[in-house]
Every structure is written in structure tokens, then in C-alpha cells.
Amino acid sequence: MGQNIFSVLFSTIKSRFTSIVTKFRLWTSWNFIRTKVIGGIRDFFYKLLDIRPKNKDDYFTVFGWMISKRLAYAVLLVVGVLSFWYISSTTKLFSAFTENGGLRTYKYNSVLLRLAEGNVRITGKSGFLAYEGTVSKGYATGNGTLFSPDAITLYTGGFEKNMYEGNGTEFYDSGVMRYNGTFHKNLFDGAGVLYNEDGSREYEGSFTAGRKEGHGKLYNGGDQPVFDGSFSADTIVFSEFLGKDPTAVREMYFGKQVLYEDGSDASNIIMSMPDINAVYEAKSDGSAADPSVKVSAVIVLDNTFRLGEQEAKEAGQLEAILGAPVYEGNSLVTLPEAVAINLQNSRENAVKGKVGMDTTSVFTDDIIVNSFDSTYSVYVYTFERGDLVYTFICKDRGGRFYFYEIADAEKPNA
């Protein structure tokens, strides 16, 4: 009998709590919670976006137009949310939670970039990282690094309004350093070192507007210096050799030399300087007071003549730079010109081909010229400018020149 009473009591209590347990399980189930939350959100936005006006008080009157207040509020809400999201994603509001080390990242054409200040990242048109560094009023200004679409560093250093300025390093597209030094408006300007793409030095010294200008040192492909002296418009100032004796020349030019001795005149020597593509003639002026030989003429084995920003490759272009020639016409070659013609022909078909020459090689770098074809003729243009005489060697009248000679105007080379 006691068991029956206990069973009845348990059944009564269970029946009382079954409904409560069932409701608790329902309320704590994920499906119920999700349904309630989604339904609540739906009802909220339904009421929020229910822009249908109910009476005249639900309108704004603007210039006689009736505008629904609910519609205006909904538009303002949407615009505000979108603006907040855009500004927060492109400014430092949430930068601590963004990737890229917290740096703000802008597209290259972003309007907000025009207002940016400080350290940022800028992406290119295809989305690659194009720039990382400081900006001011939308311009790369200060220190930064420029990248290629292949993530190769193209430049790192100072900027001023998107241009290279101050100290910096520029790289080839391969990533090898091209130049290290100072810049002005994207160009090499000031002191710097220029490198070949294989990593060897080409030039170390002064630059102006992207060109070698002033004092500098030229290197060969083996990273050895071959010339130390003055440059102008990317070209060695060859006139500096004039009047110097061979020992003084050797203090400027350190590269390979090949001596051509005039077999008929021991006081006349011709020296080839292949590392700078030049030949000089040195001879004594015949005075007893100074019997040493001095450089009387320099031949530049280059078919382009530069003076400042001007450049000429043909005889007809020279007058615009040097004025009217003091002489032009056919001329028989001198020994230095014959040597220059043969050196040029070892690289290209120059003038009328090689000049016949009878030589004796004492050593590989010492050649005695016994005789040469003195009937070989060329067409020359001679100009005077300041203290210098320039003679340009051509095949015929007009057309291109193959090299040119520089001599002192007071003592022009005969």
C-alpha cells in the first residue's frame, strides 16, 4: 500500500513539472532562439522601413513638396551606416584591428587619400602594393618605398609630392640596385653612385639633372676605376688632357693603354685609351726650355657630340651648336686620325674602311708605325669655340661623322 501512495505522489509531481520542462527545453533550443532573433530583427526593420505615412504629421513640407518623414529617416540611416563603414575601413579608426600592421590602406584613386597624412599603404590599379610610406595631402612626401606589380622594390628613400627627392636608392626592374645617392625631381642630382645591372659600379661622383656633371670617377665592368676627372652632360671633359704630359695623364686615366710610336718621328706618340674610347697625341713643341712631350690633341671615338643639353650626330647639326665652321673640305689623314679610323673599324665599318699601315709590335701594348697610307682622305668640319678647336671626321660632305678631335685653339693640331 505504501508503494502505491509513493507512485501516485511521484506521478502528480511529474505531471506538474512536465509542462515547465518542455517549455524550458523549447526556449533553450537553438532553432527556437534563431527563429525568435530573426523574427525580431525582421519585425524591427519592417517597422523601421515602413515608410508609408499614416497622416499629415508624417510628412515634411519642403518648397511645397511633401516628403515622408519615415522615408527621409530611412535614407539618412542607410547613408550614415554606409559612410561610417567606409570611413572606418579607410582611416585609422579601426587600424589596430586591420591587417598590414595597422597601416591605413588606400587605393591609388581614393578620394580619402587626398586627405591622408602620415604612414599609409597605397595599392595600384590591379590591387598590388604600390607604395608604403608617408604621405601629406595625398602626395608621397617624406620617406617611402615604391614597388612594382611583381613586388620588386623600385625605389626607397625620400619623396616630395610623388617625386624622388633627397637621399634614395633606385633599382633596376630585376631588383638590382641602379643608383644610390641624392635625387631632385626624380632625377639623379648631387653626389651618388651609379651601378651596372650586374652589380658592378659604373660611376661615382656628381650628377646634375640625371647626368654625370662635375667631378667623378668612371669604372670598368670589373669594378676597377679607369678615369678620375671632370664630366659634362654625361661625357668626359676630354679637353682636360690637353697640355698634360703622359705621366699627368696617367694620374687621370688608369685603364688599359696601347702606345703607337711614330717610326719617322720619335717625339710624336699616339696613345690609345680603350676604356674611355679615346686617343691622344703627345709631342714636344720643340722648345729647348721644355723638351717634354705634351698632349696636343685628343680624339674621341664617339659618333655623338654633346655640349650642355645639345646633341649632334650629323655634320649638319653641328652648326646649331658650334656656329659656322672655320674650315670644311677634303683632307689627308694624319697618323693619329689613321689610328683612330682603324680602331673604329674594329668595332664598325667606319669612314672608308681601314687605313693601310705597316707596323712592328714591340709588345702587345707598344706598336711602332713604320708607315701608313697617307693618301687616305676624309671630309672634315672644323669649328672654333672658345679656346678649343673641334674637327669632325666624315666620309663625305654632309651626313654622319665617325669621331671628332679636340685641340687647343692657340696651337691647333696640324
DSSP codes of every residue in 137-163: TTEEEEEEEEE-TTS-EEEEEEEETTE
pLDDT of residue 92: 47
pLDDT at position 94 = 45
Q: Are 281 and 413 in contact (CB under 8 A)?
A: yes
Helix (H) or strand (E) holding 84: helix 69-90
Domains, in order of start, for the chain = 59-90 (no CATH), 101-232 (2.20.110.10), 274-408 (no CATH)
Q: Which of 401, 248, 410, 412 is nearest to 334 (CA)?
A: 412
Whole-angstrom distance, CA of residue 104 vs CA of residue 112: 11
Spans in the chain with pLDDT lower than 70: 1-27, 32, 44-73, 84-102, 285-291, 410-414
| Residue 245 to residues 250, 338, 363, Cα–Cα distance (Å) | 9, 22, 22
- What was the pLDDT predicted at 85? 62
φ, ψ of residue 103 to 5 degrees: the values are -75, 140
Could you count the other beta carbons within 10 Å of the beta carbon of residue 370?
A: 12
- To 5 degrees, how large is the angle CA 224–CA 228–CA 229? 160
**Mean pLDDT value across the chain:** 85
Taking alpha carbons only, the member of 189, 148, 191 closest to residue 171 is 148
Q: Which residues, in sequence order, are CB contacts of 30 under 8 Å at separation 6+?
A: none
**Which of 331, 329, 333, 309 has its CA nearest to residue 321?**
309
Q: In this structure, what are the phi and psi dihedrals at residue 163, rounded to the nearest 5 degrees?
A: -115, 150
What's the pLDDT score for residue 79? 78
CA angle 181, 186, 190 (to 5 degrees): 35
Backbone angles phi, psi at 107, to 5 degrees: -75, 155
Task: Say if CB 370 and CB 414 are below 8 A apart.
Answer: no
Greatest alpha-carbon pair distance for the chain in Å reads: 156
What pLDDT was estimated at residue 138? 86
Which string of b and e fits 164-192 if b means at least 16 CB within 10 Å? bbebbbbbeeeeeebbbbbbbeeebbebb
Distance CA 260, CA 266 (A): 11
Q: DSSP 3-state helix, strand, coil percentages of the chain (rounded to 5)?
A: 30, 40, 30
d(C-alpha 62, C-alpha 110), whole Å: 34
State pLDDT tens for residues 227-285: 999 999 999 999 999 999 999 999 999 999 999 998 887 778 899 999 999 999 998 76
Nearest to 230 by CA among 211, 245, 246, 210: 211
322-361 pLDDT, tens digit per residue, is 999 999 999 999 999 999 999 999 988 889 999 999 999 8
Tell me the residue length of the chain.
414
The helix/strand/coil state of 361 is strand
Query: Looking at residue 97, what is its pLDDT?
Result: 40
Got the DSSP string for 214-259?
EEEEEE-TTS-EEEEEEEETTEE-GGGGTT--HHHHHTTB-S--EE
